[in-house]
Structure 1
Amino acid sequence: MEWKGKVSAQVRSFKAEQAWSLLKDFGGLHRWVPSLHTCEILEGVNGQPGCVRYCAGHVNGTTTPAWSTERLLGLDPVNRSYRYEIVENNKGFGRYEAEIRVVDGLDGCDCVIEWSFAAEPVEGYDEVRFVVRVGELVAQMAERVGEALRAGV
């Protein structure tokens, strides 16, 4: 059995290209996801398929340490997206692939961050709770990206 889903969150008052300028940094995820305190490139060149990042933080606001190594599978600047997979982790993941994509909103004034995934069931979660958690992460990401853009980063 495989879980598949897509969640999204709006970044108000900014175009997709503006948000993508921040999110395309594969080694910079810790700037946009509050539960991460570290994200660094371990091997390869940041932004080049095959590079591997190490992400570390805490599980759902607890003090329980959580980490993963993740490989970039592809980066598409035209469609403002990248795909990656989890290689190793202590979070209960087996196979996990995801895509982060930034698209212009229907109103032409805002943009939307989309996070889609395909995963084996994750230890400690049911599918609905997992989708809710990924939705929370993309909402936090959109909030932080909007704050950075308003600050002129």
Structure 2
Amino acid sequence: MAEETQPKWEGKATAELKGPTPDQVFPAVDTCCRIKGVQGQPGLIRYCTSTAKKCFSYEVLDNNMGFKNYVATVRVMPMNDEDGKMRGCMIEWSFVSNPVEGWGLQDLSSLIDISVQSMAKKIENAIQEASV
């Protein structure tokens, strides 16, 4: 079956951060400009600022891992307890992708889950270190 006629893969992974607020996890971003590196090449470093609603999306069109079209959205949302008091936040990473040759949907879903869990741990550690 041709790649264009195969159904898109879709998935989502979440990670909970107990304590940090969405503002601590995802500060506002208003500007994004290249600092170092070459557009479209590995190693590109950007400077970003914004007032977005704790959400960003990105798209991968070509790479060395076999992705032909991959779009992801990362959101940071508050988590409240039963009384409505904020008790932390959640990172949600969702994606839509064309099937990737040599991969299964579960392979990609597992990679996203591992990545969002790792991201959450690094953010928690950075917030803890900054508050000491």
> Normalising to structure 2: TM-score of the pair?
0.73
Identify if the C-alpha distance between structure 1 residues 135 and 24 changes in structure 2 by more than 3 Å, giving closer, same or farther: farther
Unaligned regions of 5+ residues in structure 1, if any?
A: 28-39, 44-51, 57-68, 70-74
Does the 8 Å CA contact 1:85/1:98 hold for their aligned counterparts? yes
- Which of these two proteins has the greater Rg computed from alpha carbons? 2
In structure 2, C-alpha distance between the alignment counterparts of 1:151 and 1:23, rounded to whole Å:
22
Matched, 1:118 2:76: no
In structure 1, C-alpha distance between the alignment counterparts of 2:94 and 2:100, rounded to whole Å:
15
Identify if the C-alpha distance between structure 1 residues 2 and 41 changes in structure 2 by more than 3 Å, giving closer, same or farther: farther
Matched, 1:83 2:57: yes
In structure 2, C-alpha distance between the alignment counterparts of 1:26 and 1:141, rounded to whole Å:
21
Write out the 4+ residue segments of structure 1 that deviate beyond 2 Å after TM superposition: 21-27, 40-43, 75-78
In structure 2, C-alpha distance between the alignment counterparts of 1:145 and 1:26, rounded to whole Å:
21
Letter in 1 for 2:114: E
Deviation per CA, 1:55-98, whole angstroms, max 9, x where unpaired?
56xxxxxxxxxxxx8xxxxx973421111101320011011001
Q: 1:61 is matched with which residue?
A: none
Q: How does 1:123-134 map to 2 (within 5 A)?
A: 123-134=101-112
Q: 2:115 is matched with which residue?
A: 137
CA RMSD of aligned residues (A): 3.0
In structure 2, C-alpha distance between the alignment counterparts of 1:24 and 1:55, rounded to whole Å:
24
Letter in 2 for 1:134: I
Aligned residues: 115
Letter in 2 for 1:12: K
Identify if the C-alpha distance between structure 1 residues 118 and 41 changes in structure 2 by more than 3 Å, giving closer, same or farther: farther
In structure 1, C-alpha distance between the alignment counterparts of 2:28 and 2:119, rounded to whole Å:
11
> Normalising to structure 1: TM-score of the pair?
0.64
Letter in 1 for 2:58: Y
In structure 1, C-alpha distance between the alignment counterparts of 2:100 and 2:109, rounded to whole Å:
11
Greater share of strand = 1
Between the aligned residues of both structures, percent identity stands at 26
In structure 2, C-alpha distance between the alignment counterparts of 1:137 and 1:146, rounded to whole Å:
14
Q: 1:104 is matched with which residue?
A: 78
